[in-house]
Chain A
């Protein structure tokens, strides 16, 4: 059983397109996150949701819009894709925030914008 799953694993698309990445966790966690990992492996948090409520919204272009239909799902929609959006996007979850609890990461979605 996969704890945190993401679809798709790979995404190759043209500049200007709109795409979505889906994330689901079956751990019963309240908090979910989106991270971006660039080509230098640097990790940066983009969004965090707790029980469907947006908690963290870092300085991310408004072309990125998260959506949490329920606490087990957190999707990421990206409009008007740009070359600089190419990266690996990780979804993660934790029981309730970070109160001494670790985050569990999904397998990542490798996005390549041509």
Chain B
């Protein structure tokens, strides 16, 4: 069974701190996506990681992909309240051009 597991599922942290969200997956893939969802809103694409060792950064967020370990990380640097949201990773299994397998989401609350 194809699985994508995010860890932790819930994270409450203080502004200014650093933290990492982990995304493990069980299938062969070199395409991994990170999305953000604000409460009651739609999903917004953050990063698309397309190869082993890929690293992308946008502001205080940095995502990386290790296809050999089947692991992606989303690192938050010096968190600010505006980053409070639910973060999803999703994997496109090898051989499929149309399917994404989604993690359960990590609900991130950043307290002032």
Contact = CB atoms under 8 A, between A and B. Distances in A.
Contact of A100 (B31, B43, B102, B107): B31
A99 B97 contact: yes
Interface in A56-114: 56, 90, 92, 97-108
B84 interface: no
A97 B98 CA distance: 5
Contacts, number: 57
Interface residues of B, number: 23
A53 B31 CA distance: 24
A45 B100 contact: yes
B102 A44 contact: yes
A90 B42 contact: yes
Interface core residue of B33, B50, B96, B97 (most chain A CB under 10 Å)? B97
B72 interface: no
A44 B104 CA distance: 10
A56 B98 contact: yes
Interface in A24-77: 31, 33, 40-45, 48, 50, 55-56
Interface of A: 31, 33, 40-45, 48, 50, 55-56, 90, 92, 97-108
A111 to B, nearest CB: 14
Interface core residue of B33, B90, B100 (most chain A CB under 10 Å)? B100
Given A42-B105, A102-B48, A50 B43 contact: no
A90 B86 contact: no
Contacts of A90: 42-43
B38 to A, nearest CB: 12
